[in-house]
Amino acid sequence: LGKASESLKWEAKTLHSLLGINRYQENPVYGENNSLDIDMLIIDESSMIDVRMMAQLFSAIKEGSRLILLGDSKQLPPIGAGSLFADLIELFSEHQEWNTHLSELKVCLRAESKEIIQFAEAIQKGSLKEIRLLFGKKDSGDAISRLEFSSPKRDLFDYLLSCFSGQKLTLLEAIQNFQNFAILSPLRKGPFG
């Protein structure tokens, strides 16, 4: 960008802050009658935007501004109503004249282990056969492992302790070690929740 970038003003904000939405005032600062004075807006994690927020955002963008929505339509749905980002992706991909405005990353840059990427893809496809195969692979190293417990509460606690066995750790070192792995559970309640 060179010297041109020096005249650009870049600012990072939450959507609430950008639109002037807060719990103390009834209406947002920016909307249909008061457009944002911006030329380009880039929004990350767009899959998390609910219908109400997206409508407020669209009404606040002035004519001629560029809007770039980034995100993964298959993750982090909004807490509020709707899945507008996923719906927009589907709509744009179905229309030849619109899908030129749609780009999709084909290479995952978030995970170093190909087994984790394969596992995520198998889950997205709902392929139980592929998931079982990945759990059964002996050459996946430590990327994916299936834990079988006969007594869930006790065995899980013992497993977590075994991850640090023989180590005298400070609290900070223990917290840092916990960031080296994750145990995911599809349950909210019970011994695995």
- The mean of the pLDDT values for the chain is 78
Q: What are phi and psi of 119, to 5 degrees?
A: -65, -45
| Average pLDDT, integer, range 47-52 | 88
Q: What are phi and psi of 51, to 5 degrees?
A: -60, -45
Whether 123 shows a pLDDT value over 70: the answer reads yes
pLDDT band at 104 (very low <50, low <70, confident <90, very high): confident
Indicate the residue type of 137. Answer: K
Tens of pLDDT, residues 133-180: 887 666 545 667 666 666 666 666 666 666 666 667 677 777 777 776
| Residue 19: HSE in the Cβ half-sphere, 13 Å Cα cutoff | 24
The predicted pLDDT at position 4 comes to: 55
Cβ burial 82-98 (10 Å sphere, 16+ → b, else e): bbbbbebbeeeeeeeee
pLDDT band at 52 (very low <50, low <70, confident <90, very high): confident
Tens of pLDDT, residues 1-29: 455 556 677 888 888 888 888 877 777 88
pLDDT band at 61 (very low <50, low <70, confident <90, very high): very high
Cα(4)–Cα(6) distance, rounded to whole angstroms? 5
SS3 19: helix
| Average pLDDT, integer, range 86-105 | 85
The predicted pLDDT at position 141 comes to: 58
| Average pLDDT, integer, range 127-131 | 86
Kindly report whether the global pTM for this prediction surpasses the value 0.85: no
In this structure, of 31-40, 85-94, 161-170, the range with the lowest mean pLDDT score is: 161-170
The predicted pLDDT at position 42 comes to: 92
| Average pLDDT, integer, range 97-103 | 83
Residue 145: both structure tokens together: 């492992």
| Long-range contacts, stretch 88-95, CB < 8 angstroms, 24+ apart | none
The predicted pLDDT at position 66 comes to: 92
| Average pLDDT, integer, range 122-127 | 85
| Average pLDDT, integer, range 114-131 | 83
Q: For residue 119, how many other CB atoms are within 10 A of its CB? A: 19
Helix ranges (H only) for 32-163 are: 51-60, 84-94, 114-125, 128-136, 152-162
Closest alpha carbon to 183 in 174, 191, 170, 192: 192
